[in-house]
Amino acid sequence: MENKDLNSPGYEIPDDMQGVVSITTMDRIYNWGRRSSVWPLMFGLACCAIEMICTAASRYDFSRFGMEVMRPSPRQADMMLVSGTVTKKMAPTIVRLYNQMPEPKYVVAMGACASGGGPFKEGYNVVSGVDKLIPVDVYVPGCPPTPQALINGLIKLQELIDTQSIKQVRWYQKGELAAVPIPILGPDLIYQRDIPAIHDAGKEA
């Protein structure tokens, strides 16, 4: 850890104290801690998952960013890397996993499919992007993004974490954080927010 990342500008450290003392802000040290140990959820969906594995493997090795601890349990994960096509059959599971992750949590949509449906968008079993289900922080285009492109996205996520302030982050605000309603598998995927509209349409017909 170099001083320049942590030292807060605006305070002069006397020469004889250089390298001994650091002056920083709460936000900086809080974000520095979080951005350096973003644990991803071990969760692969499709083609992009293979590139995600390659990113975790020795050549690209995202443990250099403190991300190698892939957790199979959502309870221990900080980041969900949605790596691949989100299908309707899988949608309830993804939302459930997201809800089970503790705050602070981040979502990276890896690849075209997770970002906006991708080449399979027109398919009857495909959700047009995971942002239809859960909020997404970083989008990584590409089909599939190469490991270096993915790391570029992960660096973007770290930059995003750097901009957050402990006073404003949603998980320290008053009140409960609402869980995302889980979609239901009916004759087609049913988003709970649509239920009144579907009910009215059914009546008219």
Of 21, 26, 155, 177, the residue at the interface with another protein (CB under 8 A) is 155
User: Interaction with another protein in 122-141: which residues (CB under 8 A)?
Assistant: 122-129, 131-132, 137-141
197 sits near another protein (criterion: CB under 8 A): yes
CA–CA–CA angle 7, 11, 14 (5° rounding): 95
**CA–CA dist 154, 35 (Å, integer):** 10
CA–CA–CA angle 55, 138, 8 (5° rounding): 95
- Strand-pair partners of 80: 107
Residue among 106, 110, 129 at smallest CA distance from 52 = 110
- Residue closer to another protein (CB basis): 13 or 92: 92
60 sits near another protein (criterion: CB under 8 A): yes
49 sits near another protein (criterion: CB under 8 A): yes
Of 29, 142, 164, 169, the residue at the interface with another protein (CB under 8 A) is 142
User: Interaction with another protein in 8-37: which residues (CB under 8 A)?
Assistant: none
Helix (H, G, I), strand (E, B) or coil at 65: helix
85 sits near another protein (criterion: CB under 8 A): yes
Residue among 89, 84, 82 at smallest CA distance from 189 = 89
- Of 7-15, 28-36, 108-116, 166-174, the segment contacting another protein by CB under 8 A is 108-116
